[in-house]
Amino acid sequence: MGAMRSAARSLPQAEARGIAILDGDARLVALAKSDPRAFAPLYARYFDPVYRYCYRRLGHPEAAADATSHVFAKALAALPGYREDAPSFRSWLFAIAHNVITDDLRARRPVAPIDAAAYVAATGPSPEEAVLTDEAGCTVHRLLAQLPPDQRQILELRLAGLTGPEIAAALGRSLGAVKIAQVRAFARLRATFDSSSAEAKEGRQ
């Protein structure tokens, strides 16, 4: 409960930082439309989140790196058509990433199992906190792999830092549908997490 109150207090600060970043994105996009060199700060800002998203979806560093390069190449090429009334540059960029990954997965199977995150002790965090902070008794990727594709996509975008409206825009879904899928995803994760914790506890006895 204390952690929840602390998170609630920090939310306005996080939102303020997010708004500042999005405002900065809008200025850089406007500049980059006339001068592609202005795209460099956007590339630097979003390379890591896009790469992590691609890695979570594809499960292999080389495939993720190729997909990330493709995402930014497509984004730069499509930038003249970017509409200022879009929810945000970030959601627009991750919509491109989502499409690139979808095309990649249709073309071939992942070159490695999606099973590669650091292990830590399974004590304390809820499944929600585990997934959103990469702290779980079993790997985050293994947890996500047990979700239906639509729920998994939503949590992967949450892990990439997108807000609910941005996820809805990136996936072309309503915000209500995104919220419902997210609630169902966390419910499924909680059941899986509780089951894994119970089995681990029995194994130690």
Annotate 106-131 with b (16+ C-beta within 10 A) or e (fewer). eeeeeeeebeebeeeebeebebbebb
**DSSP string over the chain:** -HHHHHHHHHHHHHHHHHHHHHHHHHHHHHHHHH-GGGHHHHHHHHHHHHHHHHHHHH--HHHHHHHHHHHHHHHHHHGGG--TTSS-HHHHHHHHHHHHHHHHHHHS--SS-S---------S--HHHHHHHT--SS-HHHHHHTS-HHHHHHHHHHHTT--HHHHHHHHT--HHHHHHHHHHHHHHHHHHHHHHHHHHHHHH-
Please state the domain extents for the chain. 47-204
- Tokens 């207090």 map to which residue? 9
Per the structure block, which two tokens stand in for 38?
A: 């202005």
What is this structure's pTM? 0.63
CB atoms within 10 A of CB 63: 20
- At 121 the pLDDT is 31
- Per-residue pLDDT tens over the stretch 142-188: 778 888 888 888 888 888 888 888 999 999 999 999 989 888 888 88
Report d(CA 107, CA 7) in Å as an integer: 41
The CATH number of 47-204 is 1.20.140
- Tokens 């006895």 map to which residue? 205
- Per-residue pLDDT tens over the stretch 129-143: 445 454 443 456 777
Per the structure block, which two tokens stand in for 152?
A: 């998994």
Taking residues 7-14, report their average pLDDT: 43
- At 78 the pLDDT is 92
Q: Is the pLDDT of residue 203 over 70?
A: no
Q: Cβ contacts of residue 185 below 8 Å, gap of 6+? A: 147, 151, 152, 154, 155
